[in-house]
Amino acid sequence: MPSSFRDLRVWQEAMKLASEIYRATAGFPRHEVYGLSQQMRRAAVSVPSNIAEGKGHRSNREFTNFLLHARGSLLELQTQMLIAEDLEYLSEDRMQKLSDQADRIGRGLNGPYQLYL
């Protein structure tokens, strides 16, 4: 079993998604700087952050609790992505790529045995 959060595949994927969200929101309209783009960035950063924090705890129960928080942040982000798509801030192609990444992370968070795959 990996000893560091950096060894977790789901954390690695969540880090990639956070970076992609930053890149995607950089092209949002200026009036969204403190609105939707900021919310998306916070939610995206929260996913790998909660995974890392949970990995630092000693018990599986605490780790699982943080994974649930990460999942909640991921679902929040996915909702915000849909809003951004509806407002035409995200192209169909970019939305598909981000959604695919988010779906992979969601599957990884669904069960501890999938964290390391």
Q: Give the tens place of pLDDT for each residue, 25-46.
A: 999 999 998 999 999 999 999 9
**CA 95 to CA 116: how far, in whole Å?**
26
CB atoms within 10 A of CB 51: 28
> pLDDT tens for residues 71-81?
999 999 999 99
**Residues in the chain with pLDDT < 50?**
117
User: For residue 117, what pLDDT is reported?
Assistant: 45
Can you list the domains of the chain with their CATH numbers?
5-107 (1.20.1440.60)
Query: Tell me, what's the pLDDT at 13?
Result: 97
pTM: 0.92
Q: Given this model, what pLDDT does residue 60 score?
A: 85
What pLDDT, on the 0 to 100 scale, is given for residue 116?
Answer: 55
What does the pLDDT read at residue 111? 67
Please report the pLDDT score of residue 99 as a whole number.
98
Kindly list the distances between the CA atom of residue 21 and the CA atoms of 6, 35, 37, 106, in Å, as whole numbers in the listed order: 20, 14, 9, 16
